[in-house]
Chain A
């Protein structure tokens, strides 16, 4: 298990600056991400407007998180899947292990998932005799090298071709030792062949989720390699690992967020594979998993609700903030000492592992404001880092904060029955509302802690919504 070394940020950063391999990798990769995002944003005149829409969708969902989660869960179950609520990392690890053991699993393929890194599920499976195999190319080499990812969308950001070759030679000992790697393609081909066999042999496939859709009970993954799809389609059991803030109301809301995700991340208009999964294989289907489980993880999120750090829960993990961060560009991801690096890590890590362990991270900033200016959901990252610095000053505040902010989970626990009744009724209403144009205007049953708050539905049409409507009405030719 990777013990967080965030407290040693200063030492880590010094070591990083003195690491020539890392500096070479950073110099090569940093500028290209920035240029590609800029080009993608410039090619879409309404990109700024889309960022507002994306922010509003997330804010609206977070303000009604209990309602959308319950609706989501009810719809997963309606589609034949199971939802497992897990309050912390330990519970999530145990749940995943139990599902794998019940399936008699020996090997488990995995799509890229940051929450899986967060809860360190691989170590737990290994300890119990189950072999997890990362199938995203970047995650695969990270696993071979027993490292943490250094970037949330490009796990092997810190590596050079030589490192790949070395790791492959060391791990794939069944292949001829005198084989030559002359270009990147040779690495890719070897990985593809190795992992093909793994995909076909796996008993369980674990993926993350970029989004969960309440309206339909759907989990969404976004990949370029196609590894996530092989992971979730071929084995008999599919486990979705997702944190609670991934939920969005409708397919249309998810679409709006997808429009800013790939553009902000890699500068693509759309990632290659965007896949929506709803329950296990249907009776007449020729393929797909027989079991579909969602492991829904809180692990500190609900305690952020209602605090100044709630804004951080809008994050869609695009990595634009770290790609544009001068500090990240100088020291790379590992210096941050845990799973989430860069500006988003500087805000999120103290919330998840404690400001006592990660209090230095919010200082890892020049406060240049670049991260906030590129964030597709407009998270005020420098402002939140400043909040942490204030908190760090008054360390003793942490337990009090927890007491003050009841947290979503406590709310769930206290009102289970009320809740179930409300959501069963709401689910039907929701489906109908969703089928009309887009999103829910008024929340029919969002009571509890949302009561008395005004819940504005996201406003403002995007170009695409206008375009779609004009086309339907025949006003566009």
Chain B
């Protein structure tokens, strides 16, 4: 996960899924961001006790242009380059990866693999075929088109935050 930070993303580690709402709320507060968010309708995210943080107002579904913060379910993390893998599915809409200003990805440590090939193996065995869309995301959106100098936050998210659940043995 050091590679995530090299690419200008941030990471919070939590010991269990129950700590995710706290980590998300703290992150949003620290960044001065609104506490309304749109979340992927994924069973693993739905099982998180969000009600313990009543300040967070959560809508489930795809992202719309007005959404400022999106919480997405990461299928896998690839250590090689600090990359997150998001295969599209009804419970993992693609718009959550790119439309909001702040993208938060929830990733279980047991889903960390070494190389891209390992992630393709996971995808083939668990999903069977190729989903409509698979995004590999490495850090927040950026552009160097103006004078070849890097600026974060082009068209995609300005911030990419990973909440890593330590469920690995």
**Chain A residues packing against B (C-beta within 8 Å):** 25, 28-29, 32-33, 79, 135-138, 141, 154-157, 159-161, 164, 184-185, 187-188, 192, 195-196, 199-200, 216-218, 224-227, 229-230, 233-234, 251-252, 255, 258, 266, 268-282, 284-288, 435, 438, 464-465, 467-468, 471-472
Contact = CB atoms under 8 A, between A and B. Distances in A.
B98 A278 contact: no
A11 to B, nearest CB: 27
Given A25-B147, A273-B136, A273-B137, A252 B117 contact: yes
Given A185-B151, A230-B155, A287 B142 contact: no
B45 to A, nearest CB: 14
A226 B88 contact: no
Given A195-B155, A275-B133, A277-B133, A225 B141 contact: yes
A200 B132 contact: no
B133 A192 contact: no
24 contacts: A28-B147, A29-B148, A32-B148, A79-B130, A188-B151, A196-B155, A216-B129, A224-B142, A229-B94, A233-B94, A252-B120, A268-B7, A269-B7, A270-B83, A272-B141, A274-B138, A285-B90, A286-B90, A287-B95, A438-B117, A464-B114, A468-B121, A471-B118, A472-B118
The 8 residue pairs across chains A and B that have the minimum distance between CB atoms: A226-B156, A225-B154, A138-B145, A29-B148, A137-B145, A284-B90, A286-B62, A226-B141
A33 B147 contact: no
Contacts of B113: 471
A255 B113 CA distance: 15
A471 B121 CA distance: 13
Interface in B111-169: 113-118, 120-121, 124, 129-149, 151, 153-157
B141 A224 contact: yes
B117 A278 contact: no
Contact of B147 (A184, A282, A285, A288): A184
B147 A280 contact: no
Nearest to B146: A184
Nearest to A281: B132
Contacts of A157: 148
Contact of A137 (B95, B138, B143): B143
B65 interface: yes
A278 B130 CA distance: 7
A275 B136 contact: yes
A187 B146 contact: yes
Contacts of B7: 268-269, 272
Contacts of B135: 229, 273-276
B10 interface: no
Contacts of A282: 131-132
B77 to A, nearest CB: 13
A359 to B, nearest CB: 31
Nearest to B87: A276
B104 interface: no
B118 A468 contact: yes
B98 A273 contact: yes
Contacts of B114: 464, 467-468, 471
B156 A288 contact: no
B99 interface: yes
A288 to B, nearest CB: 6
Interface of B: 3, 7, 61-62, 65, 80-81, 83, 88-90, 93-95, 97-99, 113-118, 120-121, 124, 129-149, 151, 153-157
B87 to A, nearest CB: 9
B130 A218 contact: yes
Nearest to A274: B136
Contacts of B144: 154, 224, 266
B18 to A, nearest CB: 27
B141 to A, nearest CB: 4
Contacts of B149: 184
B151 A468 contact: no
Nearest to A75: B130
A225 B94 contact: no
A215 B31 CA distance: 43
A365 B88 CA distance: 46
A226 B70 CA distance: 15
Residue of B61, B115, B133 ringed by the most chain A CB atoms within 10 A: B133
B88 A288 contact: yes
Contacts of B137: 272-273
A199 B98 CA distance: 12
A471 B112 CA distance: 12
Given A188-B146, A218-B130, A278-B132, A464 B156 contact: no
Contacts of B88: 285, 287-288
Contacts of A135: 155
A464 B151 contact: no
B155 A226 contact: yes
A192 B142 contact: no
A32 B132 CA distance: 37
A68 to B, nearest CB: 16
A435 B138 CA distance: 25
Contact of A227 (B95, B118, B129, B154): B154
Nearest to A470: B114
A272 B155 CA distance: 12
B118 A278 contact: no
Contact of A226 (B3, B132, B154): B154
A69 B29 CA distance: 51
A215 B155 CA distance: 31
A272 B88 CA distance: 17
Nearest to A155: B145
A465 B116 CA distance: 9
A161 B146 contact: yes
